[in-house]
Amino acid sequence: MSPTSFPKSDIRVLLLEGISETAAGIFADAGYSDIRRFDKALPVPELHRELREAHIVGIRSRTRLDAAAMAEARKLFAIGAFCIGTNQIDLATAKHAGIPVFNAPYSNTRSVAELVIAESIMLMRGIVQKSAQCHRGGWSKSAAGSHEVRGKTLGIVGYGHIGTQVGVMAEAMGMHVIYHDIETKLALGNARHAGSLDALLAASDIVTLHVPETPATRLMIGEAQLARMKPGAHLLNASRGTVVDIDALADALARGHLAGAAVDVFPVEPEGNAEAFASPLCGMDNVILTPHIGGSTLEAQDNIGAEVAAKLVRYSDNGSTLSAVNFPEVTLPGHQGSHRFLHIHRNAPGVLMKINEVFSSTGINIDGQYLRTDPELGYVVIDAASDRDQAGRLRERLASIDGTLRTRVLY
Ligand SMILES: NC(=O)C1=CN([C@@H]2O[C@H](COP(=O)(O)OP(=O)(O)OC[C@H]3O[C@@H](n4cnc5c(N)ncnc54)[C@H](O)[C@@H]3O)[C@@H](O)[C@H]2O)C=CC1
Ligand SMILES: O=C(O)C(=O)COP(=O)(O)O
């Protein structure tokens, strides 16, 4: 266990939104004892209060870490998104504050893909309506409107980690798979590029959305796109609530243009399980509504807890930023026998020279130096065999260099 510039017992780890116990276990095993856990997203005033004392924060998709939240988080040095999406975090503000953000890009993808496959069959068979009728004492034994998925066309919008897995599973059930993506993607199996979003919408019996939340995907499925879908087709959205115009979707369903939908994500979602949920889709028997649980399986949450906590511990103990989503990536070896100085600065000419001057002026030899920059940010890591007092003084001098955003020493 490597000590850091202040005792690990003083490093506050804040874990929100019911992040898996696995994560807390990994922090504890690495010597972190000040771990505060909450099973829901916090209301803004409480979030800001908690952030003031946190050095590391872990969130899921619900907590907004915007510029106002970050302004409160004066001690924060790392953020973990214990999920895939990082749209809830102001990545640029975090970066300019010298705070790397880590996420779990794969761990829950299978869970989402399995749900989409299950829902595709449920929708094509009209199972939710039939189940609702039975619960109400009805009995409508009929094949009308019920179809096998075999031989039908599945259109995947966003052919990334989730979209590709959905495609492979759908083909195993005999479906034709087409996809649309803004990047050139290797088609798996017999999947075919649709040519355009419009072409995909016109050709698919089921359309499933797997794009991230970006300015380009905001309301990418609105009235015009829904109108292009085949009459009687189905729409699934387990991506982000902002991707679909929910009123337009409700209208297309009410008019019978679409036969059904499965929606897991919403433009506005409750903060926690105690808050009521409302949506224009509520009350429609042909719509599967789920409370943003695409990635909520015990397997996925366990894997995510382990993956993101390990990345945060590694950064905190060792300085490595491998796979950070907003930061220059550095993979570092151990630093036995030397102190490790982390220096994060605005990328401007001359900073590196000044850092090196600090060391050369004291005659301390540099054992290893690592540097990664992007146009905005520089991250320099220096291993040097100073004594503890010297290290403290060196750190102060490094911190006083113009453009410095953050410094730490790992002993
Ligand atoms: N419902 C839930 O619980 C979960 C939801 N998600 C959501 O699913 C999204 C996708 O996840 P992954 O497949 O792992 O991400 P990914 O990054 O592997 O794939 C996203 C794909 O969308 C494409 N894309 C981006 N902008 C596009 C545009 N404007 N038009 C067409 N394609 C576009 C990308 O090129 C990429 O291939 C996440 O960003 C997240 O928002 C992820 C996990 C769980
Ligand atoms: O991984 C994602 O992006 C998700 O949407 C899952 O979010 P959650 O961790 O379930 O709040």
- Please list, residue by residue across 91-126, b when 16 or more beta carbons sit within 10 angstroms of its beta carbon and e when fewer do: bebbbbbbbbbbbbbebbbbbbbbbbbebbebbbbb
Give me the sign of the Cα torsion angle 87, 90, 96, 101: negative
For ligand 1, atom 6: residue with the closest CA: 239
Judged against a pLDDT cut of 80, whether residue 194 lies above it is answered with yes
Identify which ligand lies nearest to the alpha carbon of 162. 1
- Given the cut 0.95, state whether the ipTM is greater than it: yes
Three-state DSSP class for residue 109? helix
User: How far apart are the CA of 157 and the centre of ligand 2, in A?
Assistant: 18
Backbone angles phi, psi at 382, to 5 degrees: -125, 130
CATH 3.40.50.720 range(s) for the chain read: 1-103+298-325, 109-289
Averaged pLDDT for residues 275-285: 96
Q: Which atom of ligand 1 is nearest to the CA of 293?
A: 3
Judged against a pLDDT cut of 50, whether residue 1 lies above it is answered with no
Cα separation, 263 vs 228, in Å, equals: 19
Averaged pLDDT for residues 36-47: 96
Decide yes or no: CATH 3.90.1750.10 for domain 109-289: no
Judged against a pLDDT cut of 90, whether residue 3 lies above it is answered with no
Q: Give the helix/strand (H/E) hosting 369.
A: strand 366-373
What is the pLDDT, as a whole number, of residue 21?
A: 97
What is the pLDDT, as a whole number, of residue 4?
A: 54
Q: Which atom of ligand 2 is nearest to the CA of 62?
A: 11
Q: How confident is the model at residue 383 (pLDDT cuts 50, 70, 90)?
A: very high
Specify whether 292 is catalytic: yes
Pocket test for ligand 2, best of 61, 65, 89 (most atoms within 8 A of CB): 61
Q: How confident is the model at residue 333 (pLDDT cuts 50, 70, 90)?
A: very high
Specify whether 269 is catalytic: yes
3.30.360.10, 3.40.50.2000, 3.40.50.720, 3.90.79.10: CATH of 1-103+298-325: 3.40.50.720
CATH 3.30.70.260 range(s) for the chain read: 328-410
Averaged pLDDT for residues 272-285: 94
Pocket test for ligand 2, best of 15, 20, 84 (most atoms within 8 A of CB): 84
Give how far Cα 134 sits from Cα of 127, 129, 130, 282, 306, Å.
Answer: 10, 9, 6, 19, 42
Q: Comparing C-alpha atoms, which of 2, 25, 3 is closest to residue 13?
A: 25
Decide yes or no: CATH 3.30.70.260 for domain 328-410: yes
For ligand 1, atom 39: residue with the closest CA: 212
pLDDT digits (tens, 9 = 90+) for 67-97: 999 999 999 999 999 999 999 999 999 999 9
Averaged pLDDT for residues 281-307: 97
Structure pTM?
0.94
Pocket of ligand 1 (CB under 6 A): 84-85, 108-109, 112, 157-163, 180-183, 210-214, 216-217, 238-240, 264-265, 292, 294-295
pLDDT digits (tens, 9 = 90+) for 84-134: 999 999 999 999 999 999 999 999 999 999 999 999 999 999 999 999 999
User: How far apart are the CA of 253 and the centre of ligand 2, in A?
Assistant: 26
Averaged pLDDT for residues 137-157: 97
Count CA atoms within 13 Å of residue 75 on its CB side.
16
